[in-house]
Amino acid sequence: MGATGKDELEKVKQKRGRGKSPQRRKKNVRERQVRFLIVCEGTKTEPNYFRALLRNNTSTVIAVEIRGEGQGASDLVDKASRIKKDLERKNDMSFDHVWVVFDKDDRGDFNEAIKKANKLKFKSAWSNESFELWFCLHFEYLHTPIGRSDYIKKLEGFFSKGKGDNNFKYKKGSPDIYQMLKAYGNEDSAKAHAKKLRALYGDDNYAEHNPCTMVDILVEELEHPEKIKV
C-alpha cells in the first residue's frame, strides 16, 4: 500500500509540474502573433530587403504586410494611415506596430513626416539621406555626410572586394541585397554603427541629423518580435 501511495503522489506531482513547465510557457509565447504593417517610400529596394530578412528569420510570432508606395515622406504617412484602416476593417484585426520607411529628399517635409507619424503612433525607419546608408554601415562606420551616389560607389567597392569581382555593379531594388549583406557584411556592426550615429545628435531637427538612420530598430523588432510589448 505504501509503495502504491508514493506512486500516486509522484503522478500528481508530475502532472502539476507539466502545467508549470518552461516548455509550456515557451509554446504559448511562440503562438502569440505580433502584426506589423510596413509601408515603404521605395517600391523595390526597401520592400525586397525586408521580405528577404523575414524569409531568413522564420518566426511564428509575426505577421507582416509590406507595401512599397513610391511617395514622398509626408504623403507616405498619410497613405500608411489609410492602408492601416482599410486592412484592419477588411481583415477584422488590428496591427500592433505600423512602420513607415523613407529617406530625406528635397521636398522639405522630412521633419513634418516624422512628427506626423509620431502623432499617429507610427514608428519611422527613416534614413538621412539614403536607405543605402544602412547597407554601408554593415562594412564601416560613416559619420561624414555624403551624397546618394557616393553610397552606391561605396557599396560597389565593398561588394567588389567581397565577391572578388571588380566589375560588380550595385542595382537598386535587387532581391539579392539582403543575402549579399549577410555574406560580406556584418549586421551586428551595422546596428552598433547606427546607434553610435544617433548618439551624435540631441535635438529633433532630424533633417540635420546627417548621416543617421533608424532602420536598425525596425530590423531588431522583426528579428525579435517576442521581445515587443503589445
pLDDT tens digits, 56-73 = 887 777 889 999 998 889
Q: What is the pLDDT of residue 227?
A: 83
Q: Report domain extents, the chain.
A: 31-227
* Whole-prediction pTM: 0.84
Q: What is the pLDDT of residue 17?
A: 43
**pLDDT range class, residue 118, cuts 50, 70, 90:** very high
Q: What is the pLDDT of residue 93?
A: 93
Q: What is the pLDDT of residue 20?
A: 41
**pLDDT range class, residue 2, cuts 50, 70, 90:** very low
Least confident of 130-134, 181-185, 226-230: 226-230
Q: What is the pLDDT of residue 108?
A: 86
Cis-peptide, bond into residue 145, ω within 30° of zero = no
Q: In this structure, is the dihedral angle defined by the CA atoms of residues 174, 180, 181 and 184, taken in order, positive or negative? A: negative
Answer for the pair 199, 109: CB distance below 8 angstroms, yes or no: no
Q: Mean pLDDT throughout 215-228?
A: 92
Q: Mean pLDDT throughout 96-104?
A: 96
In this structure, the strands spanning 97-103 and 123-128 are parallel
pLDDT top residue among 93 and 30 = 93
Distance CA 165, CA 147 (A): 24
The answer on pLDDT for 32 being more than 90 is: no
C-alpha closest to that of 140 among 180, 193, 182: 193
Percent of the chain with pLDDT over 70: 85
C-alpha closest to that of 96 among 67, 126, 121: 121
